[in-house]
Amino acid sequence: MRNKVLWILFFGVLMAALDIAIVGPALPAIQQSFGVDERALPWVFNIYVLMNLIGTPLMAKLSDRYGRRLIYVIDIALFAAGSLTVMLAPAFSFVLIGRAIQGLGAGGIFPVASAVIGDTFPPEKRGSALGLIGAVFGLAFIVGPVIGGLLLMLSWHWIFAINLPIALALGIAAWGTLPAQRRHLEAPFDWVGMAILAVALASLAFGLNQVDTNDLLGSILSLAVWPFLLITAVLLPIFWRFEARAQDPIMRTSLLSTRQLRLASTIAFGAGLGEVAVVFLPLMAVAAFGVTESRASFMLLPLVFALFIGSPTAGRLLDRLGSRTVIIGGTALLAIGLFLLWLLGANLVAYYTATVFVGLGLSALLGAPIRYIMLNEVGADDRASAQAVATIFTSVGQLVGAALVGAVAASAGGGVDGYGMAYLVIGVVALMLTVLAFGLKSQSAEVATVKEMTSAA
């Protein structure tokens, strides 16, 4: 039964992950089909990211209240409805509406899936299960562009149409298999807290997306950036104080109340920074080796295979060694890879070696380990919400990292030297995370915490 649950979760997360990797090849066709300009086209991604960020805490909390099965199936249905809207879009505005619906549904799929693993698997098997789910993202970036290219031979509409039968099959299987327990609560849903958090996150994401890395200070001082960052800065403390008094808060303040949870959230933010480094690797390859952009993308395959192999391996090591050892190893490998790119990025062998180190490092941070900590540190009633916290911190790290890498590279003159300097900065952050990771609980302390949570339940 557990294996069936795991495969349903695996393919649900794969469906959502594929839609990130598969859409890229379709952008030129979508642009031509609707006649949109270069400024409007990125919103196909941006609106998805914005709604994904909002959907993560909303769907996670709903699943803690009303049960995993119901919300997981709703998330899949929303994703399918968004796909159908994009597929049938008569105008570009409908493409954006569909992508927004997709992002809202996808925002809940990964945290709810991680919470189901906590509900279904015993503590000694959670790491392996989470590792398998984490491997989905490596697989998605291997097969996504290939599937996208094949479907484009028919039409860009098929990239979204393919989601419909998959979502239907997954919805039926999930409804008949996933646990359906729900909490019986009289406290109303925290809609006010959700609204404050949604505005704060949307403002942060929009503001950071408008940062011009070629003119960092000038763009931050522009009306397209600073008002939105100010809104976030004002709303976050208001949100935190409101949540401390709410009957059933969208995000309990206790989710950051212990050292273990605060360290895990900080490392999740750093993992987001490291993940963004991958986005800029093709640009560095073009500058260093004079290859085409298409060839530079294929040069990421060693990194992707390292991520695909490393994620399940990290999951198995979690069950044997605990999160502290795995995360220390992951942050150290990430730092080594980034420092290699800084020192020897123009050397082809060093470049490939560095990307493998980066892939292995990220596999020990983005997949199972941080989510493993969150499952162990909170009770069953807050499992999905804790997963949402990890996702939010990672997403914010990605947003900050995109602005940071671009700004450092531009200030250092661009090219190999510019990106090398950016990787030096993120490498230093990874090294600091390695030091912080020594503050995480030992495996024996983690086991004691799990027993304490189990006995209290």
pLDDT at 341: 92
Q: Give the model confidence (pLDDT) of 210-255 as tens digits.
A: 777 677 677 778 887 889 889 999 998 999 888 888 888 888 877 7
- Least Cα distance to 23 among 36, 41, 7, 11 occurs for 41
Distance (Å, whole) CA 33 – CA 21: 20
Please, are residues 437 and 267 in contact by the beta-carbon 8 Å criterion? Answer: yes
**Comparison of pLDDT for 119 and 141, the residue scoring more:** 119
Q: The domain that contains 260 carries what CATH number? A: 1.20.1250.20
Task: Please state the pTM of the whole predicted model.
Answer: 0.82
Q: Residue 425 domain-assigned?
A: yes
pLDDT at 172: 93
The pair of structure tokens assigned to 41 is: 């086209």
| Domain enclosing residue 18, as ranges | 1-178
Please, are residues 120 and 69 in contact by the beta-carbon 8 Å criterion? Answer: no
pLDDT at 21: 65
Q: Is the pLDDT of residue 188 over 70?
A: yes
Q: Residue 184 domain-assigned?
A: no
Are residues 269 and 298 both part of a single domain?
yes
Are residues 145 and 277 both part of a single domain?
no
State what percent of residues in the chain have pLDDT above 90: 24
pLDDT at 119: 83
- 184 confidence band (pLDDT: 50, 70, 90): low
Please, are residues 387 and 57 in contact by the beta-carbon 8 Å criterion? Answer: no
Q: Residue 185 domain-assigned?
A: no
Rounded to 10 deg, the angle between the 383-411 and 259-279 helix axes is 40
Q: Is the pLDDT of residue 391 over 60?
A: yes
pLDDT at 246: 83
CB atoms near residue 297 (< 10 Å): 16
Are residues 222 and 343 both part of a single domain?
no
Distance (Å, whole) CA 342 – CA 355: 12
The pair of structure tokens assigned to 23 is: 């859409």
The pair of structure tokens assigned to 33 is: 């089909």
Are residues 420 and 304 both part of a single domain?
yes
Are residues 246 and 260 both part of a single domain?
no
Q: Residue 242 domain-assigned?
A: yes
pLDDT at 301: 84
Within 8 A by CB and 6+ apart from 66, the residues are 182, 183
Please, are residues 48 and 103 in contact by the beta-carbon 8 Å criterion? Answer: yes
Q: Is the pLDDT of residue 457 over 60?
A: no
Number of domains in the chain: 3
Q: Give the model confidence (pLDDT) of 268-278 as tens digits.
A: 998 888 887 87
Q: Where does a domain end: 229, 250, 271?
A: 250
pLDDT at 138: 65
